[in-house]
Amino acid sequence: MSKRQMHLIGYVLAGPTWHHYGAWRHPESDGLDMLDPARYEEIARTLERGKFDGLFFVDFLMLFDSYAGGYRTNLKEGGQQCMMDPMQLLAAMARVTSHLGLASTMSTTFYHPFHIARAFASLDHISKGRAGWNVVTSAMEREAKNFGMDALMDKNKRYDMADEVLEACDKLWRSWEPGALVGDRQNNVFADADKVHYVNYEGNYVRTSGPLTVPSSPQVRPVIMQAGSSPRGREFAGRWAEVIFTLQNSKEHMQAFYRDIKDRVVASGRKPNECAIVPAVDIVLGDTESIARERAEAINEYASPTLGVAEISNALGVDMSKEPLDKPLEDLELTQGCRGILDVMLQGTKKDGLTLGQAGKAWATSQMTPQLIGTPKMIADHLQDFFEAECCDGFMICPSISPGTYVQFVKTVVPELQRRGIFRKQYQYSTFRENLQN
Ligand SMILES: Cc1cc2nc3c(=O)[nH]c(=O)nc-3n(C[C@H](O)[C@H](O)[C@H](O)COP(=O)(O)O)c2cc1C
């Protein structure tokens, strides 16, 4: 019997900084090309050369401004910013690749299901069956204000609404039966209208009549991705998600998360392999261990604790600019914000007893996910160990530097994983979903 195969997803953001805040300052970084589509096309080509399952764009609909009353620190120091619409970049990436899955984040709170369904069905056609949607409910008050709302709904309601948006989108994607497009010039039959249907979806939060304007696409619906970590987020993921991203900072936490989500997937009537769980890992590579360590040190020099604390403030939606940097993170009183992310950070502090300043530095370095530093063989050992210890089905690979880490990873770590028989040598399938589930 052939060995279980690992799945790899690349982490991409249309901005200067990805997981490693400050990496844009490194002389080898392409961070300043964030507005150039050629940057993203090149990343897509690289990941496809490495036979990655896919990549996904993080997206937030705001400039982060929870720290010190504004966006000054985040903008000045080049923190996380989503400077272009990922759907348009994905269309460009689709045209230079043929197998790589192409996914974007889109918010169920701010976009109407008709818009979402139309955008992803179009991407699925453009990419010939490689579209993916990272479903987020959005947790930032500023995003709500950007969309004309006074405040965000509470988290449980946002997830209730997300369930409805998914149901409505699913109906819209199926509103054209396969084969509805006929294209018979002889008999003047462009489409078979009997195979196109109104959906008339009526929920408590969303309504849509349909049909969609876009004919049924190769995957019918995009691969659904999700990253919820609260109990309600996990319940949602168990029902819908085909890929789950997670930030976990130790093997034990990864294993507990893995078991919990797989149980939820099965409880929702799905097979465990219908949902791939991919924790984030940050990678720093070198030909020898000492070169890799020197490289990590040089890159991590650029990670500023202040920007890290600003980004923690953004992640939690709570301004921490007045808190002393030497205050233990566990002593902070937090009652609102993004609880799932706080839990991930607390995992780190419980283990290491970090202060806020140290947490800022760690967050700026890798958002507290494991930063794997070493030779290609050492990195492959780590990944294989996590993979075989039932921590995950694969990884979301976060490059310390774009595009260098991806280029090195594809050239050196991927062949090592392939030699071990735990990662594909060739794509077997043409759609994102088939590559993920087989
Ligand atoms: C790896 C990862 C990527 C994420 N990407 C986004 C994103 O692009 N946009 C967004 O609004 N939220 C993003 N989130 C936040 C999640 O959607 C979710 O709100 C968060 O993990 C908290 O989970 P909860 O809502 O269940 O508490 C991401 C989370 C993780 C772990």
pLDDT value of position 314: 85
Q: What is the pLDDT of residues 20-46, one digit of tens each?
A: 899 999 999 999 999 999 999 999 999
Question: How far apart, in Å, do the first and last CA atoms of the chain sit?
Answer: 14
Task: List, for residues 356-397, the tens digit of each pLDDT value.
Answer: 888 899 889 988 788 899 999 999 999 999 999 999 999 999
Residue 230 Cα: closest atom of ligand 1: 26
Q: What is the DSSP string of 399-410?
A: ESSTTHHHHHII
Residue 185 CA to its chain's centroid (Å): 44
The pick from 109, 134, 314 for probing ligand 1's pocket by mutation, whose C-beta has the most ligand atoms within 8 angstroms, reads 134
| pLDDT in the model for residue 408 | 97
Residue range of the domain that includes 388: 7-173+217-287+370-437
Ligand 1 centroid distance, CA of 233 (Å): 10
Q: How confident is the model at residue 241 (pLDDT cuts 50, 70, 90)?
A: very high
Q: What is the pLDDT of residues 255-270, one digit of tens each?
A: 999 999 999 999 999 9
Whether 380 is in a domain gets the answer yes
Cis peptide before 403 (omega within 30 of 0): yes
> Residue 340's pLDDT is what?
64
Q: Report yes or no on 313 lying in a domain.
A: no
Does residue 402 have a known ligand-binding role? no
Helix (H, G, I), strand (E, B) or coil at 155: helix
Q: Which of 105, 135, 157 to mutate to test the pocket of ligand 1 (most atoms within 8 A of CB)?
A: 105
| Domain-located, residue 153 | yes
Residue 229 labelled as part of a binding site: yes
Peptide bond before residue 16 is cis, with ω within 30 degrees of 0: no
Task: Confirm whether 377 is domain-assigned.
Answer: yes
CATH of the domain at 421: 3.20.20.30
State yes or no: pLDDT of 70 exceeds 90: yes
Ligand 1 neighbourhood includes 156 CB (under 6 angstroms): no
pLDDT score of 234 = 92
Average pLDDT over residues 96-103: 98
On the question of pLDDT at 327 being above 80, the answer is: yes
CB atoms within 10 A of CB 179: 11
- Atom 11 (ligand 1) nearest CA: 138
In a domain, 93, yes or no: yes
CA of 277 to the centre of ligand 1 (A): 14
Q: What DSSP assignment string belongs to 178-193? A: TT-EEEETTTTEEE-G
Q: Is 244's C-beta closer than 6 angstroms to any atom of ligand 1?
A: no
159 known ligand binder: yes
Mean pLDDT calculated for residue range 222-248 = 92
Residue 308 within any structural domain of the chain: no
How far is the centre of ligand 1, averaged over its atoms, from the C-alpha of 318 (Å)? 16
105 is in an annotated binding site: yes
3 state SS of 383: helix
Please tell me the predicted confidence (pLDDT) of residue 317: 78
Distance CA 329, CA 321 (A): 13
Number of domain units in the chain:
1
Q: What does the block give as tokens for 332?
A: 């902070």
pLDDT (0 to 100) of residue 350: 65
79 pLDDT more than 80: yes
| More confident site: 311 or 186 | 186
